[in-house]
């Protein structure tokens, strides 16, 4: 079957002397092991920035309730909601002080129940963030834990007695000194925190702690939530001897990457299997791991069905492309190379070509805006490249995760001064660079492209004050282009980025080949065009994406039949015999057979 499909493909496509690259074998003759979460389109909502219902400048649950019909109109299946649990907001909700309560700024449990009910009435599933590598230092567990060495909650966290000396280095991502240990004088001990000192790491080696977490998960499942996105879940297991990790060992075993070390703790998969056995297996739910530290070699350990752990994960290799290796989120001045982009996403497709299931995303709350990072946010090309990137996300073999606002083509706000930032990551790194006498201008310029706050600015509903997000003062500034980039304006324009997104969602849903079909990369060395086919049974789609601001040629083996074009972000396609000339950032989906 493989050979016959290859012969058919070669008869259709002429690759201008460049060899086609087969990332994997074709799928069998019918969609294998169909699951609702494989066929879903996930829409991520950052509640703090979606819609403010009471004028305090902060988005809330009732604001989301007000806009459920809009969310439904997108055609999506699942909403991933960033944390709404009680929190002092050291890291915008990723520091939870009560797992069974709602953050006061966001509303009440009654508001949450109304939101969940409203989603289910519209056929939308709700996935919550599960943040259980760490809690807030204001959680009652930690207050008890730090009160004395003999407290029953002491072993809910990782402590190192100071009389043993300073513990071996572990990184703390949000700390000015870079350390993941914090000295606490109350009991003369250090506690572990892979992120901020306000986010102490939970001790999963303690079965009592695991039971608390599993009971909490059941609490939300019994309410009716449909799954969890699991924040840095590979980090939960620790070697509690906390041995010294030398740079040589880090390099040889973990490619110099601390996250790979932290994602390889003993007992990790025992804990995930226990979670599945005690909780997940009892519900028809969706689970996705934030795959920090996960590699192509370890991915299957999390998601293969026979392992009884999780459904899918998302990796960081793609979104890490293009940064200088020795700088904090500073882009290579030459930008990223499309050839490397294609290589990464083709590799990760091949990882799940026979087992497991993948995800695809280009933006989320931890990343800058998709169009700024991967497209072209200039006035000339913002809309076109937004549509092109949406086409990519909706035509790959993986569950697409789409970040709110990207359906409008929202782009980075690009703050000029550190005072405008609200994110703990940007603020702490600025201080670290300042303390070390580093180049602050370089850092601020880099943050215009890479900072997380670029994706956290308020959603742009209309051209009224504050983009219709709030009647008060927004918690973070609104992008000044909201007068033209907003829902109200784009609803009226049949060719808007918003309406193009809806068309792409519908195209994916109407064609199982775009969900389950085999992926095959074409012209891998072409620096402008990302071209690939999706094949299922006797159906084959060709996807052509121009990732550049220049025209680019692609050779077809036959003349293009206009009726075979299923989607196009331009009014037409320029052809010359068997040659297609793609316009800047043009995206085309063609039914080949």
What residues are labeled active site? Answer: 231, 290
**Cβ contacts of 39 within 8 Å, gap of 6 or more:** 77, 509, 512, 515
Neighbours of 11 (CB within 10 A): 10
CA 543 to chain centre: 23
Distance CA 150, CA 153 (A): 8
Distance CA 346, CA 349 (A): 5
- Nearest Cα neighbor of 450 from 336, 294, 346 is 336
Tell me the CB-side half-sphere exposure of residue 414, using CA atoms within 13 A: 12
Distance CA 576, CA 100 (A): 63
| Residue entry with tokens 């300073």 | 166
- Provide the token pair at 238: 């620790």
**Cβ contacts of 518 within 8 Å, gap of 6 or more:** 24, 25, 26, 27, 353, 397, 534, 535, 536
Distance CA 538, CA 551 (A): 32
CA distances (Å), origin 185, targets 152, 161, 583? 19, 11, 64
Helix (H) or strand (E) holding 289: strand 286-290
State residue 120 phi and psi, 5-degree precision: -65, -35
- Provide the token pair at 299: 């991915």
**Cβ contacts of 42 within 8 Å, gap of 6 or more:** 76, 77, 78, 79, 80, 127, 399, 400, 401, 402
Mapping DSSP to helix (H, G, I), strand (E, B) and coil, where does residue 402 land?
strand
Alpha helices in 29-75, H assignment, sequence order: 36-39, 61-66, 68-73
Start-to-end C-alpha separation, the chain: 16
Mapping DSSP to helix (H, G, I), strand (E, B) and coil, where does residue 110 land?
helix
Radius of gyration of the chain (CA): 24
- Nearest Cα neighbor of 355 from 294, 396, 284, 299 is 299
């Amino acid at each position: 079957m493989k050979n016959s499909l290859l012969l058919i493909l070669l008869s259709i496509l002429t690759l201008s002397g460049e060899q086609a690259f087969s990332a994997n074998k074709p799928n069998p003759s019918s969609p294998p092991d169909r699951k609702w979460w494989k066929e879903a389109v996930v829409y991520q909502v950052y509640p703090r920035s979606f819609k403010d219902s009471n004028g305090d400048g902060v988005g809330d649950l009732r604001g989301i309730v007000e806009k459920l019909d809009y969310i439904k109109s997108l055609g999506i299946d699942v909403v991933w909601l960033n944390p709404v649990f009680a929190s002092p907001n050291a890291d915008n909700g990723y520091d939870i002080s009560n797992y069974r309560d709602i953050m006061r700024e966001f509303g009440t449990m009654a508001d949450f129940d109304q939101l969940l009910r409203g989603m289910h009435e519209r056929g939308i599933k709700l996935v919550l963030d599960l943040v259980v590598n760490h809690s807030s230092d204001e959680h009652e567990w930690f207050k008890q834990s730090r009160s004395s060495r003999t407290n029953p909650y002491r072993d809910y966290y990782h402590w190192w007695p100071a009389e043993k000396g300073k513990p071996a280095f572990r990184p703390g991502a949000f700390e000015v000194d870079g350390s993941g240990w914090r000295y606490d004088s109350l009991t003369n001990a250090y506690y572990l925190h892979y992120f901020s000192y306000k986010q102490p790491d939970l001790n999963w080696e303690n079965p009592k702690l695991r039971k608390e977490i599993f009971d909490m998960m059941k609490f939300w499942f019994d309410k009716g939530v449909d799954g969890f996105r699991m924040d840095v879940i590979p980090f939960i297991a620790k070697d509690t001897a906390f041995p010294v990790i030398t740079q040589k060992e880090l390099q040889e075993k973990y490619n110099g990457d601390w996250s790979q070390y932290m994602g390889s703790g003993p007992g990790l998969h025992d804990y995930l299997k226990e979670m599945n056995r005690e909780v997940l297996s009892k519900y028809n739910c969706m689970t996705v791991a934030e795959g920090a530290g996960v590699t192509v070699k370890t991915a299957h350990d999390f998601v293969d069905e026979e392992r009884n752990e999780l459904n899918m994960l998302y990796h960081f290799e793609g979104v890490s492309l293009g940064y200088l290796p020795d700088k904090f989120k500073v882009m290579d001045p030459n930008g990223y190379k499309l050839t490397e982009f294609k290589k990464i996403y083709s590799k990760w497709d091949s990882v799940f070509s026979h087992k497991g299931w993948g995800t695809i995303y280009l933006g989320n709350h931890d990343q800058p805006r998709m169009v700024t990072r991967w497209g072209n946010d200039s006035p000339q090309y913002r809309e076109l490249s937004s549509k092109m990137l949406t086409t990519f996300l909706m035509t790959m073999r993986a569950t697409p995760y789409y970040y709110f606002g990207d359906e409008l083509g929202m782009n980075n706000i690009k703050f000029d001064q550190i005072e405008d930032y609200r994110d703990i990551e940007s603020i702490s790194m600025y201080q670290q660079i300042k303390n070390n006498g580093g180049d602050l201008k370089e850092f601020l310029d880099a943050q215009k492209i890479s900072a997380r706050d670029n994706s956290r600015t308020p959603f742009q509903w209309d051209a009224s004050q504050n983009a219709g997000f709030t009647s008060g003062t927004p918690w973070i500034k609104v992008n000044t282009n909201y007068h033209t980039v907003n829902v109200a304006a784009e609803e009226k324009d049949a060719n808007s980025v918003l309406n193009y997104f809806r068309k792409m969602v519908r195209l994916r849903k109407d064609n199982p080949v775009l969900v389950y079909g085999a992926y095959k990369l074409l012209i891998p060395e072409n620096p402008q065009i990302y071209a690939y086919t999706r094949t299922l049974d006797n159906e084959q789609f060709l996807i052509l994406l121009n990732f550049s601001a220049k025209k680019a040629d692609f050779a077809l083996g036959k003349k293009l039949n206009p009726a075979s074009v299923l989607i196009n972000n331009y009014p037409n396609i320029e052809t010359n015999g068997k040659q297609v000339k793609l316009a800047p950032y043009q995206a085309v989906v063609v039914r080949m057979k």
